[in-house]
Amino acid sequence: MTETTAHGRGPRTDVPPENACPIAPVVDIVFSRWTTPILWALHEYGRQRFVEVERRIATITPKVLTQRLRQLERDGLVHRTYHAEVPPRVEYEITELGRSLAPLFATLAEWSPNLERVEEARLAYDARDGGGGRSA
């Protein structure tokens, strides 16, 4: 995707390379390694405590889950509620902004059967290439 000038003559030179693709910032926010499983869990199961989210995503470490939840809260996709009790209780839930991603996730879920074709393509490529990898 090359952006052109307003007059359609040649590539734009005023657009930083990291902004050349308009969906790149969305991908950075939504598709970091743990964001999608966290949002999916909160969307599917509703408000949850930290340990509940951690159990649903068994392979995430507590440190990384804490970092991701903080970032998602900062991005406005997750709401954190602190209950000043003994012991303190913290709950997380997806926000309306986070819920607005549901159609995107549904579309990706519809596309997921294509993963079988991707795997077939990879196997064919690796067989053709001898498994050694090609340089560009």
Comparing CA positions, the residue from 127, 48, 51, 135 lying closest to residue 91 is 48
Assigned domain for 121 exists:
no
Assigned domain for 88 exists:
yes
pTM (predicted TM-score): 0.72
Assigned domain for 52 exists:
yes
* Domain containing residue 56: 31-106
Assigned domain for 60 exists:
yes
Rounded CA-CA distance 82/100 in Å is 24
Assigned domain for 37 exists:
yes
How are strands ordered across the β-sheet holding 89-94? 48-49, 89-94, 78-83
The pLDDT tens digits of the residues spanning 102-115 come to 998 889 889 999 99
The pLDDT tens digits of the residues spanning 75-98 come to 999 999 999 999 999 999 999 999
The domain that contains 87 carries what CATH number?
A: 1.10.10.10
Q: How many domains does the chain have?
A: 1
